[in-house]
Chain A
Amino acid sequence: MEFFNNHKKLFRTAFLFFAGLTTLVAILPALNNQKNNQPLPGAEPLSADAVKGKNIYIANGCVGCHTQQIRNVDMDKMWGARPGIAADYAGIHRTDFWRNTATLMGTGRTGPDLTDVGNRQPNKDWNLVHLFNPRTVVKESVMPAYPWLFIIKKQPAKNDVIVSVPKEYLNGEEGKVVATNDALYLIAYLQSLKQVKLPDGTPTPDFLYKREQKQAGTTATSKELDGTALYTANCQSCHQPGGEGLPGAFAPLKGSAIVNGDNLELYVGIIMNGYDARAEFGVMPAVGTNANLSAAEITAIMNHERTAWGNNAKKVTEEEVKKIMDFVKLQAPK
């Protein structure tokens, strides 16, 4: 065939075919997307510190293991309240002259999704110590340590942010671990990662492929919730698998008066609204509210805490907890 024997015609055709398809499936949809999407009204632009932090996040390739996208499937519910939408990313523009836009959506979850980590883990102390070496707080973690974002000082200055790192993670060095500005910027970025609420009246997209609930009877299922797993998912990274906490950072639950005591109002209140009454420990975030935990789930966690690690308190019932939850909701700081 003449056509196949003419290199100009052949290669031009192949090129135009490919370029045409490229325009249709890549360039036009991309242009269309950036034209038709605006940031949500509630979205706040990153602070100056957070912008610097994002650059550190990019430089260290965190996107290799952490996604920032919540898919509209039920299994992603654990990472945020609603599926991500195009508007969530609309405010992200080219980083600078040298570097492209960084939506940082990622393609692999070796580590957890970070879309909403600002709500899920707002604790600065935890984040800093975790950054210094993740294995101080999560033994099984395979995340790299970032000690070069910290300095070890014999005598820290007044304004230095000191991180309470257990001795065995200091590699024999003496002194206090002080967070550098870079570490603080990075934490500022992580804490700014919060899913923005959709404006009132906008229908929230659904999570698809819902997990099939076993409809065996409502009372039976509520009791069967796995308190250990819920504790692992929501509490363990700070309070540790053995409930002993981390001295100087996170309060122990093992032998705790509140956990074992009868003041359930205080107990449920701490879980739902957070706690900052004791100077020697870090601030506890509103875990229950942030993770949208149900009364049944709170009950399971409480019962796990009240019976594990040598704790030996009476189990609580879902009804009790539900009543207190309605009450403490009113106390929630706005």
Chain B
Amino acid sequence: MKIRFKKTWGKWPLSIFMCLPITILAQTQSAGIASASNDTGLLVLLMIVLLTILVAVLLLSFEAKELVAKIRKKKKEKSTNQFDKYLENMDGSQIEKVLQIKQKQKCINKDSGSIKTVLIVGMQMLAMLLPGDSAYAQTKTTARGIFSEGGVLITIILIMIPILAAIVLMIVKLSNMLRKHRNRQDLEEAALFADYLSTLPEEEATEALSKRKAALDYNLTHHELSGEQEPADKKGLVGNIETEGYINFITRKKKAQKRPNIDPQLSKLILWYFGCAALWLIFGTTIGEYLGVKFVAPDIDHVSWLSFGRLRPVHTNAVFWGWASLGMLGLGYYIVPMVSNTPLASIKKGWYALCLINAAVILGTLFLMAGINNGGGEYREYIWPVMLLFGIGLILTLINFIQTIAKRKTKEIYISNWYIVSAIMFALTITVVAYIPNWQDGLGETIIQGYYMHQGVGMWFMLFTLGIVYYMLPQQLNRPIYSYSLGILAFWTQILFYTLIGTHHFVFSSIPWWLQTVAIVGSVGMIIPVVAGTTNFIMTFKGARHKIAGSYTLPFFLVGIIFYFTGSLQGTAEAFRSTNLIWHFTDFTVAHSHLTMYGIICFFLWAGMYAVVPRLTGKEAPQITVGAHFWLALIGLMFYTVPLMIGSTLRGQMWIAGKPFIDSVVHMAPYWLWRAIGGSLMWLSHIFFAYNFYKMIRRYETIDIKEVALERLKQQIPTPDKIV
């Protein structure tokens, strides 16, 4: 059969790719716990394989038919029409060759065989490069057995691999044969075309071809618009001139702009806050990662200090009071004096606060691991002497910030300072309320616990971080915040509604029904500050969206804003009584707290740090590792939260349906595995962050050639006063 096969290379990889996941799928299936679904799974798998083969065969035969038809058509119309088309489609160099040949023809006139030879030799050389084996094909048929048996499954998969390989090989060979045939056809046609060329009428052909060649060879001079003059930047408008081109693998991000110098003492303090925060992030999330692994491998260790119940609060408290709090305070030490346009009241107090907070987290961690904790309320597991250290640190910071604001050089108090100072005041308030024993007998403890754990999140972390965003986002976009009034509205409504919602962690419990209802209403009210805040931030982006691609801080801000909206409103949705039925007590809460504490707080903090640190040190992190940090954190967070939310929803439904509890534990296993995988990615991103931070603060100097040269010159030339 004479057939021609084109574009084949495009299709083989496709069919290979189609087969690959099937084998992988089959393997995972057989590795899993044997169940009734294996049967149907295997059937589906076989169907997919058969379908793939069918599609491949159909494609082949379709192509073949098409080609046969073409060949038949071609054989009929080997007229001059066809050759004229070839002539029209010739490029400049080909035309030149033709013209040369014509020139020669003129001279030697009779020796007409030479062109033919050249063409044929060229084509033959091409043909020699191709393998000339004849095709063979081999097919096997699979017999269906008992699919539920693991051994049978493995066998089928093993058989499937060579069959698929054989099919692939068959397609390769077949198409090689087809191509060889096509080349032979083309050679024949080339011979005919050469004959035609040699018989073309001399004069007119040469003229027409010459004209065509001139048109094809036309080029712009590239000076049509710019003129011939050399460029000069007489007003110094252009900066950061690149004299060498670079390969544009990734968008080149803008460098941080040089700012008026910040007091080196303050700069050092802020960097220490960030450094400690980064260490606590690594420590806290390493613990978190290990806890995630324990869901998959509960017997990984049998050490009391590392048991799940003790490490869980170590993780939460280390990332709360160590990482996020220190990170926020560090940014606060930058922002508060900056927007007050005055130096910080006391750098010493800043150092004391840093030491106290670090001491609190270290001691608290050790106590928790030793089994000494406050009694089980989430985020107040540290006993009061430990939390007292943290509290004193906050009091010092509060005094420091208020004193700074008091001697501000601006008339108004910028809104960032509203948020930041209030956050510290409120954090102190809730800590005092949570640790004073007078109202904590019986259910009093639970009411205070609900209040405390949610105010800790909303009034300390969220409020402070919003203050950071109100400064950093406009600064990074180089445009004012969209609406100051919306910021004020969000501020007061946040206080009004957020304070009420604590008890929504204890819906349906024995705390008063009216208090639960107040919490649910407050959760709905949270829509106002969240929508106001989100609108404000998004509208600040208006007209500056192009800046996102050119900045490595703005993507962090954007993700933070998106999660601020979605995460916060998810909290509202979770508070309803109907949703509480499904989600309460499941890991949905864990997913939610990571979406918010990680998606909002951490992303905003990273954004702020990547913006501030280069301004303090003059050094930037490698763009590629900042990118790695961003994407790993974001993708990891998605892998962490989405499966956990799906699994938890199903688990809640199992509980409602009255299924045995242990069934719901078995059900969660794959989702817990996904959580561990997502957690690993997040953890890896923190390693990148730590590296980036190191790169931004590293001591050794990269030599600025211009500066050094100037320095040398200065030394060589005597100082002016000596001359005078």
Q: Is the CB of A108 within 8 A of B425?
A: no
Q: Mark B578-599, 1 if CB is under 8 A from A, else 0.
A: 0001001111011000000000
Cross-interface CB contact of B413 among A10, A78, A211, cutoff 8 Å:
A10
In the bound complex, CA of A111 to CA of B406 (Å):
52
Which residues on the B side are within 8 Å of A14 (C-beta)?
418, 422, 425, 495
B378, closest chain A residue (CB): A107
CA distance A138 to B446 in the complex (A): 32
Instruction: Bits for B364-384, please: 1 = Cβ < 8 Å to A, else 0.
Output: 000010011111111011011
Q: In whole angstroms, what is the CA distance A236 to B307 when docked?
A: 26
Which chain B residues border A72 with CB–CB below 8 Å?
508
Query: A144 and B294: CB pair below 8 A?
Result: yes
In the bound complex, do residue B581 and residue A75 qualify as a contact, i.e. CB atoms below 8 Å apart? yes
Of all chain B residues, the one with the shortest Cβ separation from A8 is B406
Within A72-109, the residues touching B (CB, 8 Å) are 72-73, 75-76, 78, 83-86, 88-95, 98-109
Q: Closest residue to A26 on the B side, CB-wise?
A: B451
Contact across chains for A94 and B440 when beta carbons are under 8 A apart: yes
Whether A15 contacts B374 in the complex (CB less than 8 A), given A27-B439, A29-B447, A29-B515, comes out as no
The complex places the Cα of A99 from the Cα of B435 at a distance, in Å, of 9
User: From B296, which residue of chain A is reached at the shortest CB distance?
Assistant: A142
Judging by beta carbons under 8 Å apart, are A10 and B445 in contact?
no
Question: Given A58-B375, A64-B312, A99-B374, is A107 in contact with B295 using a C-beta cutoff of 8 Å?
Answer: no
B interface: dominant SS? helix
Q: Is B230 an interface residue (CB 8 A)?
A: no
Interface residue? A60 (CB, 8 A): yes
Say whether A101 contacts B500, CB under 8 Å. no
A31, CB-defined interface residue at 8 Å: yes
Tell me, yes or no, whether B350 is within 8 Å of chain A by CB: no
Contact of A98 among B384, B512, B518, B586 (CB under 8 A): B384
Using A30-B439, A60-B307 as known contacts, say yes or no to A22 and B429 having CB atoms under 8 A apart: yes
Q: Is B313 an interface residue (CB 8 A)?
A: yes
What string of 1s and 0s marks CB contacts (under 8 Å) between A59-74 and chain B?
Answer: 1111111010101110
By beta carbon, the residue of chain A nearest B453 is: A107
A157 at the interface (CB under 8 A from B): no
B509: interface (CB < 8 Å): yes
Instruction: Provide the residues of chain B in CB contact with A21, threshold 8 Å.
Output: 495-496, 499-500
Q: How large is the interface on B (under 10, 10 to 19, 20 to 34, 35 or more residues)?
A: 35 or more
B371 touching A60 by the CB < 8 A rule? Answer: yes
**Inter-subunit contact B425/A15 (CB<8 Å):** yes
Return A65 CB to nearest CB of chain B, in Å. 7
Given contacts A11-B422, A108-B587, contact A100 B665 (CB under 8 A): no
Contact B373 A59 (CB under 8 A): yes
Q: Which of B40-48, B264-272, B607-615, B656-664 contacts A (4 or more CB under 8 A)?
A: B656-664
Residues of B within 8 A of A92 (CB): 441-442, 445
Report the separation of the CA atoms of residues A15 and B425 in the bound assembly, to the nearest whole angstrom. Answer: 7
A250 → chain B, closest Cβ, in Å?
16
B contact residues around A110 at 8 Å (CB): 587
Which residues 621-677 of B have a CB within 8 angstroms of A? Answer: 655-663, 665-666, 669, 672
Q: A99-B373, A108-B586 are in contact. List 11 more A-B contacts (CB 8 A).
A: A7-B405, A26-B451, A27-B433, A30-B448, A33-B443, A33-B512, A60-B371, A100-B375, A143-B298, A146-B307, A208-B508
**B residues whose Cβ falls under 8 Å from a Cβ of A:** 294-295, 298-299, 302-304, 307-310, 312-313, 368, 371-378, 380-381, 383-385, 402, 405-406, 408, 411-413, 417-418, 421-422, 425-426, 429-430, 433, 435, 437-448, 451, 455, 459, 488, 492, 495-496, 499-500, 502-503, 505-512, 515, 518, 581, 584-587, 589-590, 655-663, 665-666, 669, 672
Q: Lowest 10 CB-CB distances: which A-B pairs, in order? A: A61-B309, A59-B371, A71-B508, A102-B375, A30-B444, A26-B451, A109-B585, A232-B660, A63-B376, A233-B660
A-B contacts, 21 listed (Cβ < 8 Å): A4-B413, A7-B406, A7-B408, A10-B418, A15-B429, A18-B422, A29-B447, A30-B440, A33-B444, A60-B307, A67-B585, A69-B506, A78-B661, A89-B443, A98-B383, A100-B375, A108-B586, A109-B586, A140-B666, A211-B656, A237-B662
